[in-house]
Structure 1
């Protein structure tokens, strides 16, 4: 089963220094039926003006995955952790409730544009406090996984996050680990198909809930960049 969630259906925010689109309930945007999906708690698409910042704040016990699409960022935590990142980098912050974190858009001219995902962390699992990898031109790249396989970032949860870059007409078939997945189009257009020939068309900014499927085929209708989030827990 594929259930689409278009960009227009998402929550919206415009604070001047920050523009955001929320897939699930977040901040002022609340929908009691959209509090997350399995262990995926947050999926935000955000743009921060040059020089703007999220001041130090604490988070629940979650893994925060930031995919930087444009600009530069600096992250600090109250334990002394510090890292800078730029477009093309993927960062994973293993948030701890007693630690505060800040984020700054450090370019003088270019907005910081990113996707941010939160996953509920299993309290019995540990990973590094701050991890980073650089995206490459690979058609399909595993960004994060429970064991850090294939040089991916290591999550504290049974989740696999894949990044796709397909040319028009190309396709890729995923075999899913769990019975639920979420698909997010970053840019381009695509068709998602199940083995039962259920199909859905998605455009830039659209997402889709995938339920009770073991395989999913993605066909690019235009040059495509997207995420597939495979959720066991």
Structure 2
């Protein structure tokens, strides 16, 4: 088993006043040659945007982008005329493909919005841009994993063999995880609480990447919520 530990206080950080952003992987002005990606997982940004503020129109191409709102609401607009509000328990996926221009603004003028923006390297380039969004019942992740994104399209999907799952577990619970397929790795990001994952104790906003493993046990030390991402281990 290979392990990569990313503690919360080792992430890159940018404070722009209206935006506070923690970068698990190299992004913008934060660069660490040891933290470029974990397999096909390229970006995991933990963002907080003040009321009435946001990201103006900017382009993307050939990237799969997942937005997970943790608190508040985020307004999305793009050059196709699409306009959506992403709220807590909503997941949005965007395949940038041949190119899109979009903006993301806090939908509230007063309250902060907190969200994760995650980029996944696609398995096919120059696809037709697409968007999808779904609301997930939080009861579906109580003491179990709730699949948000899957290649079998049972939920949302990406142009990649990637799975995203959320779990919210009581203290004392345990579960075992296994790779989705040969050559896959698992990346676990702790949203809150305390876990022991494969013998490593993790706290809020810590993360662990597992590869070359057959199975691993997650022990919940304190009530915890976490995001589990399974992706191919690209070179």
Q: TM-score, normalised by structure 2?
A: 0.91
C-alpha distance in structure 1 between counterparts of 2:120 and 2:187, whole Å: 13
C-alpha distance in structure 2 between counterparts of 1:35 and 1:92, whole Å: 22
State the partner residue of 1:77.
78
Deviation at 1:215, TM superposition (A): 1.6
C-alpha distance in structure 2 between counterparts of 1:99 and 1:11, whole Å: 26
Deviation at 1:127, TM superposition (A): 7.9
CA gap of 1:125–1:229, structure 2 versus 1, over 3 A, is farther
8 Å CA contact 1:179–1:213 kept in 2: the answer is no
- 1:154 pairs with 157, 161, 175, which one? 157
State the partner residue of 2:185.
180
C-alpha distance in structure 2 between counterparts of 1:216 and 1:229, whole Å: 14
Deviation at 1:128, TM superposition (A): 7.3
State the partner residue of 1:226.
226
C-alpha distance in structure 1 between counterparts of 2:136 and 2:62, whole Å: 26
Tell me if 1:215 matches 2:226. no
8 Å CA contact 1:182–1:229 kept in 2: the answer is yes
Q: TM-score, normalised by structure 1?
A: 0.91
Deviation at 1:31, TM superposition (A): 0.9
Tell me if 1:140 matches 2:145. yes
SS at match of 2:217: strand
SS at match of 2:146: strand
CA gap of 1:90–1:145, structure 2 versus 1, over 3 A, is same
C-alpha distance in structure 2 between counterparts of 1:125 and 1:215, whole Å: 35
Deviations 1:19-74 (A, max 9, x none): 01101000110112211111111001000001101001111311111110111111
State the partner residue of 1:196.
none
CA gap of 1:161–1:11, structure 2 versus 1, over 3 A, is same
Unaligned runs of 5+ residues in structure 2 are none
SS at match of 2:222: coil
C-alpha distance in structure 2 between counterparts of 1:153 and 1:125, whole Å: 20
Deviations 1:129-180 (A, max 9, x none): 111122322231111122312xx11110011111111011112212212442
Unaligned runs of 5+ residues in structure 1 are 194-198
8 Å CA contact 2:62–2:125 kept in 1: the answer is no
